[in-house]
């Protein structure tokens, strides 16, 4: 004969623990300010290939990031020095001046974790062709629109990197900043300091006969060799200042699943970026 199971009333009435809210395709946890999974699993989601119209497709994470995010020792003083030497002047002197400064953290003390790559999507050529000598074009490579209030009242990212490989700092890496919808519209100020943002200069034009900015395309190849070299040097430099290898990400994949997410960076060669990082860290 079965005995009846009588539970204490307090246990029956106890509410179930609330599940943490996860945001977007890479499942950003609003409480921990972290995407889902191990650092390498996060990189796999955040480094997916971004095609026209913000179509995302899986692609292999470069081997160097598989190593850095799993088994590698923390970045060293030698790594930081190698990155600084790679920088052009005047940014080299600027980077040296701030080399031992702390990097950003959130208002609650959660440390910097993500290195986000953007493209500027400017200048915008509408239906006109791109300049033939894109990497040397003065209009394309000018920092003036990002310094002035032509685009925004304040620089929209920590770093601006043109196709010549020149670098202009909009905000120092110690300053908590926001440049994605995840930070500015969904989570809000709590997320500031968890991400650093790198804007790489890439012009855009309409796709075919399109007339809306939702249908634009960048040039092919998307970025210059100098941009990949400097993206790698900046990644190593800020990781060394943070004392940990940051998780690389892209603007679109950070915001994937959020309405009106941007489609950048377009035509990004992840293999080339990985090779330049490996050249510095190996």
Domain regions of the chain by residue span: 39-281
In angstroms, the CA 201 to CA 29 distance is 31
Rounded to 5 degrees, what angle do the CA atoms 131, 133, 138 make? 80
> Which residue's entry shows tokens 């670098």?
167
d(CA 132, CA 135): 9
In the block, which residue shows the tokens 């088994």?
Answer: 71
Distance of alpha carbon 247 from alpha carbon 113, whole angstroms: 6
Beta-strand relationship, 159-161 and 195-200 = parallel
Within 10 A of 9 (CB to CB), how many other CB atoms are there? Answer: 8
CA nearest neighbour of 121 among 27, 207, 24, 17: 207
Per DSSP, 31 falls in state T
Residues of the chain under the 70 pLDDT cut: 1-20
For 11-31, how does the pLDDT look when each residue is reduced to its tens digit (9 = 90+)? 444 443 434 689 999 999 999
Residue 17: the pLDDT is: 40
Determine phi and psi for 210, rounding to 5 degrees: -60, 155
pLDDT attached to residue 178: 96
Question: Residue 75: its pLDDT value, please?
Answer: 98
| Cα three-residue angle 244-248-251, rounded to 5 degrees | 140
d(CA 160, CA 254): 19
Helix (H) or strand (E) holding 159: strand 159-161
Q: Tell me, what's the pLDDT at 19?
A: 47
Would you call 188 helix, strand, or coil by DSSP? coil
**Dist. CA 46–CA 196, nearest whole Å:** 14
- Pairing of the two strands 159-161 and 167-169: antiparallel
Identify which of 237, 252, 243, 79 has the alpha carbon closest to the alpha carbon of residue 172: 237
In the numeric block, which tokens belong to residue 233?
A: 């040097």
Q: In the numeric block, which tokens belong to residue 135? A: 């990497």
pLDDT at 8: 45
- pLDDT value of position 12: 41
Residue keyed to tokens 């043109």: 162
Beta strands in 187-234 (DSSP E): 195-200, 205-206, 216-217
**224-251 burial, b if ≥16 CB within 10 A, otherwise e?**
bebbbbbbbbbbbbbbbbbebbbbbbbb
Residue 20, pLDDT score: 62
Task: Write out pLDDT tens, residues 171-184.
Answer: 999 999 999 999 99
Cβ atoms 268, 223 nearer than 8 A = yes
Separation of first and last alpha carbons in the chain: 71
Look up residue 53 and give its two tokens. 């119209």
């Amino acid at each position: 004969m079965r005995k009846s199971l009588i539970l204490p009333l307090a246990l029956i009435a106890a509410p179930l623990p609330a599940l943490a809210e996860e945001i977007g395709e890479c499942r950003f946890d609003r409480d921990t300010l972290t995407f889902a999974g191990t650092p390498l699993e996060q990189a796999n989601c955040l480094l997916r290939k971004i095609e026209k119209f913000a179509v995302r497709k899986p692609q292999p994470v470069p081997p160097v990031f598989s190593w850095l995010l799993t088994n590698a020792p923390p970045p060293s003083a030698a790594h930081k020095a190698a990155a600084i030497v790679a920088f052009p002047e005047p940014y080299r002197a600027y980077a040296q001046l701030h080399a031992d400064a702390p990097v950003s953290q959130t208002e609650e003390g959660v440390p910097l974790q993500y290195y986000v790559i953007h493209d500027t999507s400017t200048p915008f050529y509408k239906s006109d062709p791109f300049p033939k000598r894109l990497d040397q074009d003065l209009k394309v490579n000018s920092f003036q629109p990002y310094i002035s209030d032509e685009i925004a009242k304040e620089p929209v990212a920590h770093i601006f990197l043109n196709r010549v490989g020149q670098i202009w700092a909009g905000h120092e890496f110690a300053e908590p900043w926001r440049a994605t919808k995840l930070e500015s519209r969904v989570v809000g100020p709590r997320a500031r300091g968890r991400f650093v943002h790198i804007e790489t200069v890439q012009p855009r034009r309409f796709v075919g006969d399109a007339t809306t900015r939702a249908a634009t395309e960048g040039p092919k190849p998307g970025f210059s060799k100098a941009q990949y070299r400097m993206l790698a040097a900046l990644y190593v430099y800020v990781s060394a200042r943070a004392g940990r290898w940051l998780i690389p990400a892209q603007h679109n994949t950070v915001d994937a699943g959020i309405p009106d997410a941007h489609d950048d960076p377009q035509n990004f060669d992840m293999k080339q970026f990985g090779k330049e990082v490996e050249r510095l860290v190996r």
